[in-house]
Amino acid sequence: MKYFGTDGFRGAANEGLTVDHAFKIGRYVGWYYGARQERKARVVVGKDTRRSSYMFESALVAGLVASGADAYLLHVIPTPGVAYETVDGRFDCGIMISASHNPYTDNGIKLVNGEGYKMDEDVLELIEAFIDGEVDVPLATGDAIGCTVDYMQGRNRYIAHLIASANFSLQGVKVGLDCANGAASSVAKPVFDALGADVRVINNAPDGFNINVDCGSTHIDRLRRHVVEQGLDVGFAYDGDADRCLAVDERGNVVDGDLILYICGVYLNKHGRLTAGTVVPTVMSNYGLFKALDEASLSYETTAVGDKNVYACMRENGYSLGGEQSGHIIFGDIECTGDGIMTSLRVMEVYRAEREKLSQLAAPVKLYPQELVNVRVADKDAAMGDAGVLDSVKRAEEFLTGQGRVLVRASGTEPLVRVLAEAPTDELCKQANAIVLEALEPHRA
């Protein structure tokens, strides 16, 4: 794919991703789902809080209605909210404007089909061909031109869906929420308020520039301090578009995606709700998770990195739980994409039912030390294909002599090569990574 990566079309606003791109995406999508089939398409559009999201929303909507589609605006909403409302509102497809955990200077366009899944690659390839001028589609005229609909009730229905999914009360529970000054800012607190929790929120005053800045799931230290200083029972941190969630226990310790998979997997299996007794993590999950799952008599099937790959495995095999260490967790019985707020509710379900502190629920998992280094490179494909780099990975694994592992992969959304070492000690991790980092040095940007 030329423009669309593992998580949509992403780039620096008006540099890698421009308003022209957005307009053309809207143009093609509006025609593909509408006039191409001699009908009027209905497309739902959401966005996060970064300043350029409003610009891209306008460009997308202009393209959609110019091709004859009706555009329904959800305004600021989490990415999973767009996926939910696409299905619930029976739209032809959904579009989310967000660069997730990236800085405000970046943005992205994510597409989901009418079933709420990430858009099929064959459709994305057609959109790319239109962007590059290889094909053309007609403009709508007269009464065939589409309209724009203010669709705030769609966001309200999504909030109601989250609340309805929780059959428990959080009365008396002190919960901290870090909304990353992003899409969760207008959704998370109302949900926890409705369940009776004593909610203490931070980073929920977006100004267009502060999304993900020293906050949220990628910068969790502030929430850790908040939980301890306020004497809270639990804390949850979301990323910019709220499809990720990490937790913090009452001691201020991070409960990452691996630990959430364990906590929820054991609970669901106990109640006969874990299909085939199997959890679906990625190859990046900690060895300690795999060991703890073995000890809990649970099976697991690993996938390549990316929630798209996790869900593909879950869908193909009918599995009900999967996710990533970064906090993308998918509960296959109720959703088809990661939803950070839903994940926090499922953790609270276990918390209430088991009547144990979060630290106790996570205690059986003994995580191995990991060191992840992101190397910005000029050409990630060239770096990943370099014989010297490939050889360095083998040498790093030999250095660990079966005590750990080294994983090297290219980012799907950024010009980065990610180098991960996992070993019994931090020092061994650093030494193993150093072998690979030296080989990557000529490729640095």
The residues facing 420 across adjacent strands are 372, 407
CA 157 from centroid of its chain's CA atoms: 21
390 CB-near residues (< 8 Å, 6+ apart):
none
Contact 423, 403 (CB under 8 A): yes
Candidate list 53, 100, 186, 320, residue with the active-site label: 100
Angle at 323 between CA 286 and CA 126, to 5 degrees: 125
CA–CA separation, 383 and 395 (whole Å): 17
The answer to whether residue 100 is catalytic is: yes
Instruction: Please report, for the chain, how many H helices and E strands are present, in that order.
Output: 15, 19
DSSP reduced 3-state for 445: coil
Residue type at 404 in one-letter notation: G
CA–CA separation, 80 and 158 (whole Å): 9
Residue type at 1 in one-letter notation: M
Closest CA to 4 of 84, 103, 182, 123: 123
Kindly tell me the sign of the dihedral angle through the C-alpha atoms of 408, 324, 339, 51: negative
- C-alpha distance across the termini of the chain, in Å: 22
Contact 347, 264 (CB under 8 A): yes
Checking DSSP bridges between strand 42-47 and strand 70-76, what pairing results, if any? parallel
Q: Long-range pairs for 398-402 at CB < 8 Å and ≥24 separation?
A: 399/431, 399/432, 399/435, 400/428, 400/432
Give the chain's largest Cα–Cα span.
71
CA–CA separation, 188 and 131 (whole Å): 36
Q: Is 250 exposed, middle or buried (0-12, 13-18, 19+ CB in 10 A)?
A: middle
DSSP reduced 3-state for 408: strand
- Catalytic positions, written as ranges: 100
